[in-house]
Amino acid sequence: MFKFYRSKFYIALILLISVFCIGVFGFRIFGDYSWVDAAYMTIITVTTVGFGEVKPLDTDAKIFTIFLIVSSVFIFAYSISVITEYILSKSSYQNIKYRKMKKSIQNLQNHVIICGYGRNGRQAAIKLKRYRRQFVVIEKSEIVIERHSDDETLFIHGNANEDDVLKNAGVESANCLIAALPDDADNLFIVLSARQLNKNLFIISRASQDTSQRKLILAGANKTIMPDKIGGDHMASLVVVPDLIEFIDRLSIEGENTINLEEVSIDDLPENFTFKSIKDLDLRKITGCTVIGYKEPHGDYVVNPEPDLKLLPNSKLVVLGKPEQIKKLNQIFKLEEITDKNSFS
């Protein structure tokens, strides 16, 4: 609905500009006025203020003036009504949208909070949408929020350093926070505030300097990421082992012919598979997926685990497969139903 009002608003502006241009050129041609006098005559004519003419008009100029007055009356009346309607509708639309967004955020549970919607924040949001994870973005720039207002992304306008803003984003019921601001000091304050508000929150913070990583960890961050370091290492790897890096990149690209990695929690599998072995699970035969990793309950990773490895509670499998194989895995073990409980809306 708001887009409809916005399109009418643009039409009204175009009509007003067109009337002004026609008036200026008309008085310039028919009245032989200078450009400044022509603009002056156009303004006093279309606004009907009743000021005197710069100089007497001949018959052609008078006929043009009559035409300009009649046409501008209707156009001005239409334009004013449309602009007023647009302003009122925008205010109402923003209020309705804000209330709806606030209600949606209040209903979130175990969601992700992204602080900052720059390059890293947007990339994180894209990935979370792809995996249908609920998230809310804290952004202090109204321009950025307005630019992405049609993305169906939940935004909180404010500074993520402030406790009230974090609370409005549901930090107490969230399970993860991503501090993606470009300044390390800002990320440090966010980590400190978020850790005080939620002791169990999993916090991932961006870091620009090596010296900031340790401080962020001491402040309460679980993980720190240095985008510049990762980017430089990736470019160097393309020189040293280009084929290997290209293959790894293909694992993270979604498509019909690409290969994907998927994480499977043992607790999400049917109970009869707990304490069974990878061989008993037989994912390769049933779905075509291959188990390439295993995360033990205490956090250690086993690369290329043995078939006889027992599947313990609170552990996870890392499987490799094509998109259709991953889809079959989700369907057979009903993993999609579990994912849908935390789906992005």
Q: How many of the other CB atoms lie within 10 Å of CB of 268?
A: 15
pLDDT confidence of 1, banded at 50, 70, 90? very low
**Does 138 have pLDDT greater than 90?**
yes
- pLDDT attached to residue 185: 93
**Does 337 have pLDDT greater than 70?**
no
The answer to the question of residue 243 being in a domain is: no
**Segment holding 316, helix H or strand E:** strand 316-321
- Euclidean distance between CA atoms 329 and 335, whole angstroms: 8
Q: What is the CATH number of the domain that holds 68?
A: 1.10.287.70
Asked if residue 63 and residue 137 are part of one domain, the reply reads: no
- pLDDT attached to residue 169: 92
pLDDT more than 70, % of the chain:
87
Query: What is the average pLDDT value for the chain, to the nearest integer?
Result: 83
- Euclidean distance between CA atoms 114 and 203, whole angstroms: 10
- The total number of structural domains that make up the chain: 3
pLDDT confidence of 258, banded at 50, 70, 90? low
pLDDT tens by residue, 75-106 = 877 887 777 777 666 555 555 566 677 777 87
Q: Which residue, chain included where needed, has tokens 């990878």?
A: 278
Asked if residue 114 and residue 95 are part of one domain, the reply reads: no
The answer to the question of residue 66 being in a domain is: yes
Q: What is the CATH number of the domain that holds 129?
A: 3.40.50.720
User: How many residues does the structure list for the chain?
Assistant: 345
pLDDT-wise least confident of 47-51, 142-146, 215-219, 313-317:
47-51
- pLDDT attached to residue 271: 77
Query: Are 5 and 90 within 8 A, CB to CB?
Result: yes
Closest to 168 in 3D by CA, of 197, 144, 199: 197
**Does 148 have pLDDT greater than 50?**
yes
pLDDT tens by residue, 206-221 = 999 888 999 999 999 9
Long-range contacts of 160-167 (CB under 8 A, 24+ apart): 160/115, 160/116, 160/186, 160/190, 161/186, 161/189, 161/190, 161/193, 162/193, 163/193, 163/196, 163/197, 165/138, 166/113, 166/138, 166/190, 166/193, 166/194, 166/197, 167/197
The answer to the question of residue 251 being in a domain is: no
pLDDT confidence of 50, banded at 50, 70, 90? low
Q: Which residue, chain included where needed, has tokens 């992204």?
A: 114
The whole-model pTM stands at 0.61
Q: Give the CA dihedral 211, 216, 219, 222, nearest 10 degrees.
A: -140
Asked if residue 227 and residue 115 are part of one domain, the reply reads: yes
Asked if residue 269 and residue 177 are part of one domain, the reply reads: no
Query: Are 31 and 56 within 8 A, CB to CB?
Result: no
Asked if residue 198 and residue 95 are part of one domain, the reply reads: no
pLDDT-wise least confident of 88-92, 96-100, 236-240, 338-342:
338-342
pLDDT confidence of 255, banded at 50, 70, 90? low
The answer to the question of residue 246 being in a domain is: no
Structural domain harbouring 170: 109-231
- pLDDT attached to residue 342: 40
> How many secondary structure helices (H) and strands (E) does the chain include?
14, 10
pLDDT tens by residue, 59-73 = 888 888 888 888 888
Q: What are the distances in angstroms from CA 237 to CA 123, 234, 242, 244?
A: 22, 5, 6, 9
Identify which has the larger pLDDT, 173 or 332: 173
pLDDT tens by residue, 105-137 = 878 889 999 999 999 999 999 888 887 889 999
- Euclidean distance between CA atoms 1 and 6, whole angstroms: 9
- pLDDT attached to residue 222: 95
